[in-house]
Structure 1
Amino acid sequence: MMIQLQVALTHLTGRRRQTLVSLTGVVLGVAFFLAVSSLMAGSERDFIKRLVDNSPHVTVSDDYRRPRTQPAELRWAAGAVGISNVKPQTETRGIRGYREKLAFVESLPGLRAAPVLAGSAVLTFAGREQGVTLWGVVPKSLESVSTIKEKMIAGSLGALDANPNGIIIGQGLAKKFNLGLGRNLSVTAAGGGTRAMKVVGIFRTGNANYDESQTFTALKRAQVLFGRSNRVNRFLIQLDDAYAARALAQRIEAVIGYKAVSWVEASEDILSVLVVRNTIMYSVVSAILVVASFGIYNTLSTIVLEKTRDIAILKSMGFHARDVRLIFLFEGLIIGVIGSLFGLALGAGLMYALSQVQLKPPGVTDRVFLPIWWGAGQFALAAAFAMASCLLAAYLPARRAGRVHPVEILRGAA
């Protein structure tokens, strides 16, 4: 094994210019592969984070995936006459026995859940009216499943516990109505309940529509306003592993009966776009290493042609075809290893440089940095693809060298 390695090193050092060109191609290929793939992976994770972490991983609502079977159909399942267009009985909407169902959800490992009563309301202040979505929440529970605590620019979510008539509004609505902390406004719920409420907090998410239309109050106050005592109509669930949301949603729905929708199900069209985007990205950056591998192929093929007589002598001295093949595979491996190490170092430098780039999208007040993913998987993927390309480029010349017939070559040379 050491003899084959020594011969491989001799071949590479004997053609330094060609070896350096091949090595440079691998280094640049690995560096750009790593920089581009880490940028794309970072942007995908940043997008998923914005999409997922700012919204529940699983939402359980007071709806059913399939309409409930009517009593007549249950009583006469094989009846000759079917009943259609039956108007459901008027009832107070909400998740029945929500405390028991919430207790079951919270007993599952790796998640946090919060009960919410959501409905429509109209805010009135100084003669101006604004339709909003009003959420009745338990502050501590909501903080565990959302990032609203981080978005507060005045007051706090916990102020709802201290002030039962408190309300938290978005910055867009506060500017529109010229509201500040401590100001009173009138809230009229869709059911007709009206209450004077005090602004105890203001948040800013950067989503103009959300900041103008979303409000929060204490759960008990919302139950009184909407006339739904001891009812909620949503469970917001956040998981430690966001990608386990689909399976968990199916399990919860099977047990409690109410419709449970995971973020994966709600965003299937967006996720399919990300898959296509990643396929295109990896195809493009992989092409760089494929082009670099042609340089290795050209170098080793030239060595095989020039060293045909030397190969014949080695085989006449007792080297097997596999030994000769191993020499040239070692040459591809050496270029791959050295190129990968320097390429990873250069790629890390490019990643750091890209992470310092600041952008200011049109209409956005805050500057943002390019998202870079520093995961070990990206480095391993770049190195693995480089090694595979180098070995594949070395295989064909190695196979040709292994087929050299020493008798014919030496006889021709004589």
Structure 2
Amino acid sequence: MFWRVSMGIAAAQLRHRRRQTLVSTLGVALGVGFFVATSALMSGSEQDMVKRLLDNAPHITIKDEFREAAPQPVFIAFPEGAVTLTNTKPREYLRGIKNHGAMVEELSRQPGVIAEAALMGQAIIRYASKDASAGIAGIDPEKERFLTTIESDMREGSLMRLKTASQGIVIGQGMSIRLGLGMDDLATVVSPAGLVRRMKVVGIFRTGNLLLDEGQAYMLIKDAQVLLDKPFIANRIRIKITDPDAAEDYASQLESRWGYRTESWQEVNRDFLGLFIVRNIITYSIVGAIMAVAAFGIFNIISTVVMEKRRDIAILMSMGFRAGDIERIFLVQGVFVGLIGMFLGWGLGLILLQMLGTVEITVPGLMDTQKLPLEKGPFQFGVGGAFALISAVVAAWFPARKAAAVRPVDIIRGAT
């Protein structure tokens, strides 16, 4: 009985102050709508960038180096020498991962793991009196197509032609345009060691990343070993696993076992991923400020009603309404405004998402025009709606407590 009467009174008071109610409701709706849109945009762009990182590179890379430099023999021989040793000639080690074949074979036997030995280096690609510096990747084409998206990014030729063509090389479209290199043309490749090879272009790829498309080239690992004068050497073991989120822990286990520096994709991109946290804090703080303004609007309207209806409150309490019933009336008003604002905000959010979905942008460093990445999931709507309801209830609670504290005897007698 009291619940039905309380809701009727709450609705009547909100209708009586329509302008203030409308303003407060629109404030909540704007907060929810902008939260849905910005959260979908931030989350979508984050997922898109992480997907690009995961698709274009292995999850884990074992390098032919150690996380801490090995101590030189002279310092091992005289660890606590009283004389300072300077200008010592360090021992030079042959670069490369020892027993890389056995390591790759062992890793490949594990379920859900793809491993490939590779040789990375630098070279100059020359054609028609034009030079371009390129990163050389000596790979196994059979495994490379599972480690990166290079095969699906091919625009001409095929990555697998590296296995059948003699002295084949795959280059990016940016490098192809820059040097005027086309399919089946012969390019001159010069290594830092001074070795010169004539290599045939058997494929041209385009990833959309300007750095890769202009500065990366692929060849068979045996051809890279000859070009870079590193026979039977691999300086990278590239790994892909089923669960990318477990890459950091798995990399730590591999480094503990073999000693070589092992980097997960999270470690390589830690600074970049940290920017997402800062960006999200800034974005949600701004949207939270909008919701806070809307909450103050609810607080203002209910506080005004409490001040204007003190005598009515006293009469209701003298008729048998308890303090909890009075408090409930004003809390219901806050819930009404929060619910209506939430539903209107969801509608506004859907409209904003549709508008953002039609926007096309060109990101510096990327060659292709793309649409804004959006995550249209229930999370944004659920969190936005919950935030609206909580803000509305909290804003209504303070004036509701003040209304429940009214002493009807004092009001009826005219006391202040």
Instruction: Please show how residues 182-221 of structure 1 align to structure 2 within 5 Å.
Output: 182-191=184-193, 193-221=195-223
Task: Say yes or no: does 1:235 pair with 2:237.
Answer: yes
Distance across 2 between alignment mates of 1:84 and 1:103: 44
Distance across 1 between alignment mates of 2:328 and 2:380: 29
Distance across 1 between alignment mates of 2:108 and 2:381: 38
Cα shift at 1:311: 2.4
CA contact (8 A) 1:57 1:242 kept: yes
In the superposition, relative to structure 1, how do residues 209 and 10 fare at CA in structure 2: closer, same or farther (>3 Å)? closer
Unaligned stretches of 5+ in structure 1? none
- Normalised by the length of structure 2, the TM-score is 0.87
2:317 aligns with one of 302, 315, 318: 315
Instruction: Please show how residues 79-158 of structure 1 align to structure 2 within 5 Å.
Output: 87-106=89-108, 112-126=114-128, 128-158=130-160
Cα shift at 1:118: 0.8
Cα shift at 1:288: 1.5
Instruction: Please show how residues 13-412 of structure 1 align to structure 2 within 5 Å.
Output: 13-70=15-72, 87-106=89-108, 112-126=114-128, 128-191=130-193, 193-239=195-241, 241-360=243-362, 366-412=368-414
Cα shift at 1:202: 0.6
Counterpart amino acid of residue 276 in structure 2: L
Cα shift at 1:109: 6.5
> Cα deviation per residue 1:142-182 (whole Å; 9 max; x = unaligned)?
22222222321101112212225211012232223322212
Distance across 2 between alignment mates of 1:94 and 1:363: 32
Alignment RMSD, CA only? 3.0
Cα shift at 1:191: 4.2
> Cα deviation per residue 1:274-297 (whole Å; 9 max; x = unaligned)?
333222221212222111122211
- Normalised by the length of structure 1, the TM-score is 0.87
In the superposition, relative to structure 1, how do residues 247 and 289 fare at CA in structure 2: closer, same or farther (>3 Å)? same
Distance across 1 between alignment mates of 2:298 and 2:202: 68
**More off after superposition, 103-112 vs 35-44:** 103-112
In the superposition, relative to structure 1, how do residues 86 and 65 fare at CA in structure 2: closer, same or farther (>3 Å)? farther
Cα shift at 1:316: 3.3
In the superposition, relative to structure 1, how do residues 176 and 346 fare at CA in structure 2: closer, same or farther (>3 Å)? closer
Q: Percent identity?
A: 43
Unaligned stretches of 5+ in structure 2? none
Distance across 2 between alignment mates of 1:248 and 1:236: 13
Distance across 2 between alignment mates of 1:279 and 1:263: 23
Distance across 1 between alignment mates of 2:79 and 2:170: 51
**More off after superposition, 51-60 vs 138-147:** 51-60
